[in-house]
């Protein structure tokens, strides 16, 4: 009987334990992707980017005589229908850790058992299963550094090679056309502008890893903080859709460390931040929606997403160059430099006194590397309400931060056209990407600061002190 390979966020052929498991079952393998709620609720950019990944994987599977079957509906029903249509005797998939995914997958496992269909989930999205990393007293890690120390010397099994062949069924079940799903529909912005900044698919991801390990890793420790420099791997986009595995990244980092590459250990540490975020989401799923530390629930943040300050922040028109450059970079490219993410998040939650949830929601919609756990942790870390967070009273000054990490101010020049006699293409592309309804033009005057930085800072500190007393 055929085996269904239910692909979700593991859109790759190499190091895919679920794919290997499906092949090992011995019969034909039918790879399937289901457009269910987990896709329907994705933000605009993430959904669009998912479509690019599916197109790439579909083409790769076809080139090796296989296919990617696309179906729409509740995963449970779609799988049952496919089992009926194909007579499949087993379903394999890679585990996910979002609370909704866990509930859905458990339900599906039970249902498949009732149908006498073998159901098998595999590890692969993270390096370490969340229940395998425990503190000495038995709980999960709430602080990053001890978690790093606990996992850094762990044995990580070798990555699995891509199969040479995927056995095909005699006849294929019907598949939706990817275009019919219109995954890019919610992208208000010019998708062509954003497309130029994506590195899509497994081969491209491997190329990126190769480039990083061949060059950039040496300077990573310093360069990673410089927003105008291409000093990081850029792999978050690929890790999000599973176009590359964390294990492939880990081993590449270990090899670089073994040959003495200066930044390699630091890079491995960043991969473990991703683990930390996923583990926290698994053990404390409220991190996605509520202040991780309850005592922050009453902080007087505004949740008015329609406030003109919030609009100015989203549109990169706060009058603070570091913030505005970063917000425009995200809108155009779908990603934002890590230091810039911390700066814009701090500015929103402190200088503007707006709830981190408002910022998180905008990131959900704009990021092509969107990851529920890393995004929530990043926001709560910056806002001060999260685990192992930066203290609220440590308020980034976006002016001195720019001088420190981008002394030439190349980052704002790259992204802010207003006021430049000959703005670069990146800065102009922002105006091609934004909806006309925003009514913005590169000929506008660059706005004055919407909030005076020292007044904003004082107001935030006063609110913090009032809460303390």
Annotated binding site for FAD: 220, 232-236, 267, 369-371
Q: Binders of ligand FAD among 336-355, rule CB under 6 A?
A: 338, 341-342, 345
313 annotated active-site: no
Residue 273 annotated to the active site: yes
Q: Shortest distance, CB of residue 128 to ligand FAD, whole angstroms?
A: 14
Distance of CA 198 to the CA centre of its chain: 13
Task: Examine the residue annotation and report whether 415 is marked as an active-site residue of this protein.
Answer: no
The residue from 16, 53, 198, 232 that contacts ligand FAD (CB under 6 A) is: 232
| Binding site members | 220, 232-236, 267, 369-371
Site for ligand FAD contains 235 (CB under 6 A): yes
Select from 296, 370, 430, 431 the one that contacts ligand FAD (CB under 6 A): 370
Interacting residue with ligand FAD among 94, 121, 233, 385 (CB under 6 A): 233
Can 93 be counted among the known catalytic residues? Answer: no
Q: Does 236 bind ligand FAD (CB under 6 A)?
A: yes
Residue 365 binding ligand FAD, by CB under 6 A? no
- Of the listed pieces 52-60, 83-91, 228-236, 324-332, which binds ligand FAD according to CB under 6 A? 228-236
What 3 state SS string does the chain have?
Answer: CCEEEEECCCCCCCCCHHHHHHHHCCCCEEEEEEECHHHHCCCHHHHHHHHHHHHHHHHHHHHCCCCCEEEECCHHHHHHHHHHHHCCCEEEEECCCCHHHHHHHHHHHHHHHHCCCEEEEECCCCCCCHHHCCCCCCCCCCCHHHHHHHHCCCCCCCCCCCCCCCCCCCCCCCCCCHHHHCCCCCCCCCHHHHHCCCCCCHHHHHHHHHHHHHCHHHHHHHHCCCCCCCCCCCCHHHHHHCCCCHHHHHHHHHHHHHCCCCCHHHHHHHHHHHHHHHHHHHHCHHHHCCCCCHHHCCCCCECCCCCHHHHHHHHCCCCCHHHHHHHHHHHHHCCCCHHHHHHHHHHHHHHCCECHHHHHHHHHHHCCCCCHHHHHHHHHHHHCCCCCCCCCCCCCCHHHHHHHHCCCCHHHHHHCCCCCCCCCHHHHHHHHHCCHHHCCCCCCCCCCCCCCHHHHHHHHHHHHHHHHC
Binding segment toward ligand FAD, per CB under 6 A, in 129-137, 256-264, 373-381, 415-423: 373-381
User: Count of residues binding ligand FAD (CB under 6 A)?
Assistant: 27
Are the CB atoms for 247 and 15 separated by under 8 Å?
yes
Q: From the candidates 80, 129, 265, 338, which is the catalytic residue?
A: 338
Q: Distance between CA 384 and CA 386 in Å, rounded?
A: 6
Footprint on residues 275-304 left by ligand FAD (CB under 6 A):
277
| Residues in Cβ contact with 289 at an 8 Å cutoff, skipping those fewer than 6 apart | 357
Q: Is 385 in the site for ligand FAD (CB under 6 A)?
A: no
Binding of ligand FAD at residue 379 (CB under 6 A)?
A: yes
C-alpha to C-alpha distance for 342 and 360, rounded to whole angstroms: 12
Considering the complex, what minimum distance in angstroms separates the CB of residue 42 from ligand FAD?
12
Q: Which residues of 263-290 are buried (b: 16+ CB within 10 A; e: fewer)?
A: bbbebbebbbbbbbbbbbbbeebebbeb
In the bound complex, what is the minimum distance in angstroms from residue 345's beta carbon to ligand FAD?
A: 4
Could you say which of 379, 381, 397, 415 is catalytic? 379
Closest approach, Cβ 356 to ligand FAD, in A, equals 8
Query: Does the protein bind ligand FAD through residue 369 (CB under 6 A)?
Result: yes
* Interaction between residue 127 and ligand FAD (CB under 6 A): no
Among 66, 121, 333, 375, binds ligand FAD (CB under 6 A): 375
Separation of CA 246 from chain center: 13
The answer to the question of residue 392 lying near ligand FAD (CB under 6 A) is no
Q: Which stretch binds ligand FAD (CB under 6 A): 89-97, 298-306, 315-323, 367-375?
A: 367-375
Confirm or reject binding of residue 53 to ligand FAD (CB under 6 A): no
Do residues 427 and 416 lie in contact, with contact meaning Cβ atoms separated by under 8 Å? yes
The distance of closest approach from Cβ of residue 403 to ligand FAD in the complex, given in angstroms and rounded to an integer, is 20
Q: Which residue is nearest to ligand FAD (CB)?
A: 378
Is residue 172 annotated as a catalytic residue, yes or no?
no
Shortest approach of ligand FAD to residue 271 CB, angstroms? 5
| Active-site annotation holds for 48 | no
CB of 46 to ligand FAD, least distance (A): 9
Query: What binding mask, one character per residue, do residues 239-258 give for ligand FAD by CB under 6 A, x or -?
Result: xx------------------
The C-alpha atoms of residue 120 and residue 93 are separated, in whole angstroms, by 7
Structure tokens at 391: 């203290």
Q: Which of 36, 98, 105, 270 binds ligand FAD (CB under 6 A)?
A: 270
Query: Binding residue for ligand FAD (CB under 6 A) from 273, 307, 361, 424?
Result: 273
Q: Is residue 333 a contact point for ligand FAD (CB under 6 A)?
A: no
Question: Would you name the residues annotated as active-site residues?
Answer: 270, 273, 301, 338, 356, 379
Which residues of the shown chain bind ligand FAD in the complex (CB under 6 A)? 224, 232-236, 239-240, 270-271, 273-274, 277, 338, 341-342, 345, 363, 367, 369-371, 374-375, 378-379, 382
């Amino acid at each position: 009987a055929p085996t269904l390979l239910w692909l979700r966020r593991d859109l790759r052929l190499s190091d895919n334990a679920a794919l290997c498991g499906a092949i090992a079952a011995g019969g034909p393998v039918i790879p399937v992707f289901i457009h269910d709620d987990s896709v329907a609720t994705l933000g605009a950019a993430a959904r669009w980017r998912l479509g690019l990944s599916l197109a790439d994987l579909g083409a790769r599977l076809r080139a090796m005589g296989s296919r990617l079957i696309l179906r729409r509906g509740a995963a449970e029903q779609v799988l049952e229908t496919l089992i009926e249509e194909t007579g499949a005797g087993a379903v394999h998939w890679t585990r996910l850790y979002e609370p909704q995914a866990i509930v859905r997958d458990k339900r599906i496992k039970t249902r498949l058992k009732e149908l006498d269909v073998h159901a098998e989930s595999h590890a692969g999205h993270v390096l370490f299963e969340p229940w395998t990393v425990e503190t000495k007293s038995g709980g999960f890690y709430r602080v990053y550094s001890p978690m790093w120390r606990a996992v850094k010397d762990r044995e990580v099994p070798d990555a699995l090679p891509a199969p040479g062949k995927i056995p095909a069924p005699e006849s294929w079940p019907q598949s939706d056309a990817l275009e019919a799903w219109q995954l890019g529909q919610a992208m208000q912005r010019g998708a062509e502008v954003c497309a130029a900044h994506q590195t899509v698919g497994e081969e491209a991801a491997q190329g990126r890893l190769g480039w990083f390990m061949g060059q950039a890793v040496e300077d990573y420790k310093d360069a990673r903080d410089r927003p105008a420099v291409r000093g990081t791997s850029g792999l978050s986009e690929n890790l999000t859709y599973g176009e590359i595995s964390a294990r492939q990244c880990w081993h590449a980092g270990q090899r670089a460390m073994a040959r003495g590459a200066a930044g390699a250990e630091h890079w491995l540490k960043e991969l473990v931040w991703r683990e930390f975020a996923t583990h926290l989401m698994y053990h404390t799923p409220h991190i996605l929606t509520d202040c991780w530390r309850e005592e922050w629930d009453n902080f007087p943040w505004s949740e008015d997403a329609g406030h003109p300050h919030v609009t100015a922040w989203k549109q990169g028109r706060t009058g603070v160059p570091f913030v505005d450059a970063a917000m425009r970079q995200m809108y155009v490219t779908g990603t934002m430099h890590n230091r810039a993410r911390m700066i814009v998040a701090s500015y929103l939650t402190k200088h503007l006194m707006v709830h981190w949830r408002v910022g998180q929601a905008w990131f959900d919609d704009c990021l092509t590397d969107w990851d529920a756990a890393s995004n929530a942790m990043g926001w709560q870390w910056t806002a001060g309400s999260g685990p192992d967070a930066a203290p609220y009273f440590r308020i980034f000054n976006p002016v001195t931060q720019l001088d420190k990490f981008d002394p030439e101010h190349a980052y704002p020049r790259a992204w802010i056209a207003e006021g430049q006699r000959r703005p670069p293409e990146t800065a102009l592309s922002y105006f091609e990407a934004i909806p006309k309804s925003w009514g913005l033009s590169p000929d506008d005057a660059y706005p004055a600061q919407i909030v005076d930085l020292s007044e904003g800072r004082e107001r935030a500190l006063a609110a913090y002190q009032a809460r303390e007393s």
